[in-house]
């Protein structure tokens, strides 16, 4: 029995195939990581830390100490009620945190856009391959006399999918939904 394969290590099982796919995705992730700017790295760190319970507890402790110190009798209060300086500090922190979070989200959006482009290209390639396979199967079926008659669904599927047509149809469907929602 002769085994044919296309490469030095042809996959022998589903685990081999999925393992190769996982490795390919890890390489793509590593490539994305190497393209991160210093601002992206800092913003990701800050966003990750600010989204942690540690961040919350640190703030609880700082705010409690600040307020307690500034209301405790017999001590000179550096920020008496209504804690104007605390409000200023919290406002400045919120401005900077929101900027870091937006930088982090922008990076994630760029990575997501690249993944979506890759998905689209792979899907289009798979569609083209499927269309060609249907055409080849139809040719083979005709040669061996195994045609099932003129099936209009097969004829439609043998035609190449046009992404522009699909995008237009989707846009028209959304416009129709929007129009119906406005009329209600």
Q: Between 8 and 57, name the one with better pLDDT.
A: 57
Nearest CA-CA partner of 120 in 50, 64, 167: 167
Residue carrying the six token digits 């685990």: 15
Q: Between 89 and 127, name the one with better pLDDT.
A: 89
What's the distance, CA 76 to chain centroid? 52
Most confident of 28-32, 58-62, 125-129, 156-160: 58-62
How much is the mean pLDDT over the chain?
85
- Per-residue pLDDT, averaged over 128-142, amounts to 86
Element (DSSP H or E) covering residue 120: helix 84-144
8 Å CB contact between 103 and 39: yes
- Coil/strand/helix, residue 161: coil
8 Å CB contact between 56 and 50: no
- Per-residue pLDDT, averaged over 93-112, amounts to 92
Distance CA 41, CA 139 (A): 55
pTM of the model: 0.61
Q: Between 37 and 59, name the one with better pLDDT.
A: 59
The dihedral region occupied by 145, where left means phi > 0, alpha psi between -120 and 50, and beta the remainder, is left
**Sign of torsion over alpha carbons 90, 92, 94, 96:** negative
- Per-residue pLDDT, averaged over 132-143, amounts to 86
Is 31's pLDDT higher than 50?
A: yes
């Amino acid at each position: 029995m002769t085994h044919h394969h296309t490469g030095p290590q042809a996959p022998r099982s589903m685990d081999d195939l999925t393992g190769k796919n996982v490795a390919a995705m890890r390489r793509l992730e590593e490539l994305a990581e190497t393209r991160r700017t210093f601002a992206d790295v800092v913003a990701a760190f800050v966003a990750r830390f600010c989204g942690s319970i540690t961040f919350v507890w640190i703030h609880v402790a700082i705010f409690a100490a600040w307020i307690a110190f500034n209301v405790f009798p017999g001590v000179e209060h550096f920020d008496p009620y209504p804690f104007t300086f605390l409000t200023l500090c919290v406002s400045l922190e919120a401005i900077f945190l929101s900027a870091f979070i937006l930088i982090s989200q922008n990076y994630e959006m760029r990575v997501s856009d690249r993944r979506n482009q890759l998905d689209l290209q792979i899907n289009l390639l798979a569609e083209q391959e499927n269309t060609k396979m249907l055409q080849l199967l139809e040719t083979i079926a005709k040669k061996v006399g195994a045609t099932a008659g003129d099936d209009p669904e097969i004829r439609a599927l043998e035609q190449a999918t046009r992404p522009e047509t699909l995008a237009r149809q989707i846009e028209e469907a959304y416009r129709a939904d929007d129009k119906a929602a406005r009329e209600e």
